[in-house]
Amino acid sequence: MSSVSVANEVKFITVNWPPFYASDLPHNGFVAEIAREALRRKGYKMDLSFTPLKRAKHLTRRGEVHALFGCWNSLENRTHYNMSKAPLANGSGHFLAAKGSDFQGVRPEELLGKRVGIVRGYTTSKQMQGLFESGKVTRVEVSRIKQLLDLMQVGGRIDLILENVFVAKHVFQQHYPDKTFGLEVVGEDYIDGGLYICWAESNPEAHKMRVDFDEAIQSMINDGSIDRIESRFGISLTSIQ
């Protein structure tokens, strides 16, 4: 990958995580469109590339790109990158149950004795991790989201899914385009699932870009532009229910 030197071009790198962002989505997804508009307001153009996460982190830490796009506010990321002030979107994990179930307003500590389906390696809060490790909540692990969706169709296998609702619905629509998504959000895990920009500390161009980007995102929050972009892409909790 060439060094970042094109004037007014911001090089972001990330992984495919539809429907938030992906190489094959219109405009690369709604989060990419939010970032693109923020950069446009400050006179920049966006170059967004997609690669496996390990390589994306490596290139960002080396300063070969300006930032890792769509990262979580974790201790690891705060240690290695300069985080954006505000998230571009909410990628939190939701507790999903069948529509019309008895689950409503669920918090992790209220799941004692329940079976929760989760993709292996999915990030959870310390509270949820502790409940899994203690056996107070049964963790049913699978390798793919589609398997979680299929398990929910088989009565008695799992009670809920822990997964971002937008991701779960996207996967469902890819595999079952003629069916109706039958799950709803009944709670959230205790974790900051905001999707931030992790700016490269080693890239000298990134500091001013970060300041400009933070200002633009705040202006978009204030004038409602982010809400309008999400609405245009059909992203809202009410659209899921």
CATH number reported for the structural domain that contains residue 14 in this entry: 3.40.190.10
Q: For the chain, give the percent of residues with pLDDT over 70.
A: 94
Per-residue model confidence (pLDDT) at position 6: 62
> Rounded CA gap, 83 and 68, in Å?
10
84 and 198 inside one domain: yes
> Rounded CA gap, 93 and 87, in Å?
15
98 and 80 inside one domain: no
104 and 64 inside one domain: no
101 and 214 inside one domain: no
159 within domain boundaries: yes
27 within domain boundaries: yes
CB-based contacts of 221: which residues, under 8 Å, 6+ apart?
Answer: 86
Contact 198, 68 (CB under 8 A): yes
Classify residue 158 by its DSSP letter.
-
Per-residue model confidence (pLDDT) at position 237: 52
Contact 193, 164 (CB under 8 A): yes
Q: For residue 240, what pLDDT band results from cuts at 50, 70 and 90?
A: very low
Question: Could you tell me the CA-to-CA distances from 116 to 48, 143, 169 in Å, in that order?
Answer: 35, 14, 18
3 within domain boundaries: no
113 and 173 inside one domain: yes
107 and 184 inside one domain: yes
Per-residue model confidence (pLDDT) at position 153: 84
48 and 101 inside one domain: no
22 and 132 inside one domain: no
35 and 74 inside one domain: yes
Contact 107, 54 (CB under 8 A): no
Domain range holding 84? 9-90+192-236
226 within domain boundaries: yes
79 and 107 inside one domain: no
Helices (H) and strands (E) in the chain, counts: 9, 11
What pTM does this model have? 0.85
53 and 165 inside one domain: no
Checking if the pLDDT of 5 tops 80, the result is no
4 within domain boundaries: no
16 and 86 inside one domain: yes
Between 2-11, 16-25, 52-61, 228-237, the lowest mean confidence (pLDDT) is in 2-11
Between 10-24, 106-120, 154-168, the lowest mean confidence (pLDDT) is in 154-168
Classify residue 10 by its DSSP letter.
E
The b-or-e profile of 77-112 (16+ CB within 10 A means b, else e) is beebbbbbeebbbbbbbbbbbbeeeebeebebeebe
Contact 56, 12 (CB under 8 A): no
Classify residue 21 by its DSSP letter.
B
1 within domain boundaries: no
Number of domains in the chain: 2
Q: For residue 1, what pLDDT band results from cuts at 50, 70 and 90?
A: very low
Checking if the pLDDT of 238 tops 50, the result is no
Per-residue model confidence (pLDDT) at position 154: 77
> Rounded CA gap, 229 and 224, in Å?
9
Checking if the pLDDT of 143 tops 50, the result is yes
2 within domain boundaries: no
CA triple 64-198-118, angle to 5 deg = 115
